[in-house]
């Protein structure tokens, strides 16, 4: 009985949003909550799940296999595929959360991008920030959660670890592969990378 009720509820919600002008690809694979709110010209690809308390703005695209819950998404945002937007997150206008990105209890500023393979938790990210692939905010030390603050126009290189609490000031660059444990000043380059060593004519030992 519960399954029939749930199925009918989903059919009604899908029909409501389709009539409103939402474009769904494979609507039978998309699942909504009763309180889901969608703006105009929203595109939803297959296998997207909306948990409770999700509010989506206008001209938003949500790609396949993304999961959203208790979050606010402003206009012209691009999400997914395979993105997870967890409770307490706000995605500002023109921002992007790409494939295999998890964002939790964080604000992503206007036109900022986290394109792939990243974890952003307990963070405040400014405008026009680029977060490279493989970047994580190390927000939990085993006892408490700490915050990461990234100001406007910051570039975070791929595979960086930002150990919270930490602040990256405006216009700064973090080099790829860095582990950042101290605040980075405005318009600075921060690197914590070991020197590359090259041994010429090296012969690998063999059995």
By three-state DSSP, how is residue 26 classified?
Answer: coil
Can you give the C-alpha Rg of the chain in angstroms? 20
Per the listing, tokens 């494979």 go with 26
Dist. CA 207–CA 195, nearest whole Å? 30
Dist. CA 118–CA 145, nearest whole Å? 18
Residue 127: CB atoms within 10 A of its CB come to: 18
Helices (H) and strands (E) in the chain, counts: 1, 23
Dist. CA 207–CA 203, nearest whole Å? 13
Cite the active site residues.
116
Tokens of 126: 């400014």
Dist. CA 59–CA 51, nearest whole Å? 20
Structural contact between residues 14 and 24, judged by C-beta atoms closer than 8 angstroms: yes
Phi, psi of 12 (to 5 degrees): -65, -40
């Amino acid at each position: 009985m519960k399954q029939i009720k749930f199925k009918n509820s989903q059919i009604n919600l899908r029909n409501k949003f389709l009539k409103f002008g939402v474009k769904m690809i494979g609507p039978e694979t998309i699942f909504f909550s009763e309180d889901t709110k969608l703006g105009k010209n929203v595109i939803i690809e297959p296998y997207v799940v909306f948990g409770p308390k999700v509010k989506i703005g206008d001209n938003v695209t949500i790609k396949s296999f993304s999961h959203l819950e208790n979050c606010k998404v402003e206009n012209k945002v691009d999400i997914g595929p395979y993105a997870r937007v967890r409770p307490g997150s706000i995605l500002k206008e023109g921002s992007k959360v790409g494939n295999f990105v998890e964002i939790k209890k964080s604000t992503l500023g206007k036109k900022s991008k986290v394109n792939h393979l990243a974890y952003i938790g307990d963070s405040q990210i400014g405008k026009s920030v680029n977060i490279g692939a493989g970047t994580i905010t190390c927000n939990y030390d085993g006892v408490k959660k700490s915050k990461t603050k990234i100001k406007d126009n910051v570039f975070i290189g791929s595979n960086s670890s930002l150990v919270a609490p930490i602040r990256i000031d405006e216009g700064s660059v973090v080099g790829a592969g860095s582990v950042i444990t101290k605040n980075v000043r405005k318009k600075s380059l921060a690197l914590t990378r070991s020197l590359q060593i090259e041994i010429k004519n090296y012969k690998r030992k063999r059995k």
